């Protein structure tokens, strides 16, 4: 039985994780951490029925008292690094779905995990279909190097571009370099009517333009659009609701207990 703590348990993703962990035969929820609804049974908040685990604000005490095998973090970008370092200092394995961590942050988490001989797993997207989308895009980029990404998320997502879009773009950039191909240069006379009109396009995105949409009604969606002479190839993935991420989260919880010490990134690494 894998014991699990959920950080950000009262949030939309956190509630889904709570329901999933409570419903699986091989996982048991032992702690729920959030700054909202403290003292309330997290099962009632999640809608899966009382589970005997109240929400607490004190992360250190929750982890010290319950010593979970794994902590799952779906909190907020401003808190995830501190949460992770607290868990790693106790040798607790981590599954992180909160985006917004920088490359420097990831290196620091890797070092902290190695120092404690434990594992930290980070994924920008836990939907298995999204992982396949990235793999297909990486393959297509070798033959159709002209590509842009449009990612669309709900209005409460605080980071942009999304972690999924960033990783997709980076993988496309790496695939193009490996294949020795490059996107066609833009016309030198092209006029941009507004800054960022071509989307984020820099080293961090593998030199692939990424356009971000934040509107009510969306959950998580991404289009990777390739253009070539006389043809367009579009690879699109849509998460209609947050249940789409839960098989991937559960897979990560089960796999992280056996991962080597240090950082592992991306669901494809454990599929």
Catalytic residues: 153, 157
Exposure b/e, 93-113, CB count within 10 A at least 16 = b:
bbbbbbbbbeeebbebbbebb
CB 56 within 8 A of CB 38: yes
Q: Which residues contact 7 (CB under 8 A, 6 or more apart)?
A: 14, 33, 34, 59, 71, 72, 73, 74, 75, 83
Q: Which residues contact 170 (CB under 8 A, 6 or more apart)?
A: 204, 205, 206
CA angle at 193 for the pair 197 and 181, rounded to the nearest 5°: 45
CB 137 within 8 A of CB 173: no
> Per the structure block, which two tokens stand in for 19?
């329901």
Give the burial class of 217: count Cβ atoms within 10 A of its Cβ; 0-12 exposed, 13-18 middle, 19 or more buried.
exposed
For β-strands 70-73 and 55-56, DSSP reports them as: unpaired
For the chain, what is the largest distance between any 2 Cα atoms, rounded to a whole number of angstroms? Answer: 65
Distance between CA atoms of residues 113 and 152, nearest Å = 33
Question: What does the DSSP 8-state code read for residue 265?
Answer: E
Distance between CA atoms of residues 4 and 50, nearest Å = 16
């Amino acid at each position: 039985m894998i014991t699990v703590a959920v950080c950000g348990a009262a949030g939309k993703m956190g509630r889904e994780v709570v329901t999933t962990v409570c419903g699986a035969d091989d996982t048991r929820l032992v702690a729920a951490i959030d700054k909202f609804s403290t003292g309330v049974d997290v099962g009632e908040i999640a809608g899966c029925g009382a589970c005997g685990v109240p929400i607490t604000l004190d992360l250190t005490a929750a982890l010290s008292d319950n010593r979970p095998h794994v902590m799952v973090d779906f909190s907020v970008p401003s808190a995830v690094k501190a949460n992770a370092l607290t868990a790693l200092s106790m040798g607790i394995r981590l599954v992180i779905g909160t985006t917004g961590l920088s490359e420097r942050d990831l290196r620091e988490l890797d070092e902290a995990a190695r120092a404690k001989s434990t594992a930290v797993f980070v994924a920008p997207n836990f939907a298995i279909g999204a992982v396949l989308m990235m793999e297909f895009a990486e393959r297509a980029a070798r033959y159709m190097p002209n590509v842009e990404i449009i990612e669309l998320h709900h209005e409460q997502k605080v980071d942009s571009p999304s972690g999924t879009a960033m990783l997709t773009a980076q993988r496309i950039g790496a695939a193009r370099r490996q294949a020795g191909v490059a996107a066609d240069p833009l016309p030198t006379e092209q006029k941009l009517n507004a800054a960022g009109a071509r989307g984020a396009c820099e080293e961090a995105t593998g030199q692939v333009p990424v356009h971000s949409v934040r509107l009510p009604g969306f959950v998580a969606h991404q289009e990777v659009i390739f253009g070539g002479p006389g043809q367009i190839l579009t690879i699109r993935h849509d998460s209609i609701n947050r249940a789409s991420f839960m098989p991937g989260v559960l897979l990560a919880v089960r796999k992280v207990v056996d991962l080597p010490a240090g950082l592992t990134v991306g669901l494809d690494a454990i599929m």
